[in-house]
Amino acid sequence: MSLINSFVCPRCGKPFPFIIKPTIRINRGLLPPYFKCISCSQISRQKVDVVTAMWVWPLTIGFFVGVIYILKNIIFRESPILYILIVVISLALFFIGFRKGLKLVSVGKKHSQPNAASIWVIPAFGIVSCLLFWGYYSGDWFHVAPGIGISLIIWMFIYYHSRK
The residue ranges of every structural domain in the chain are: 22-106, 116-162
Is 4:100 a contact under the CB 8 Å cutoff? yes
Alpha-carbon span 59 to 154, nearest angstrom: 36
pTM greater than the 0.75 cutoff:
no
> pLDDT for 118-162, tens place per residue?
667 777 787 778 778 888 888 888 888 888 788 878 877 877 776
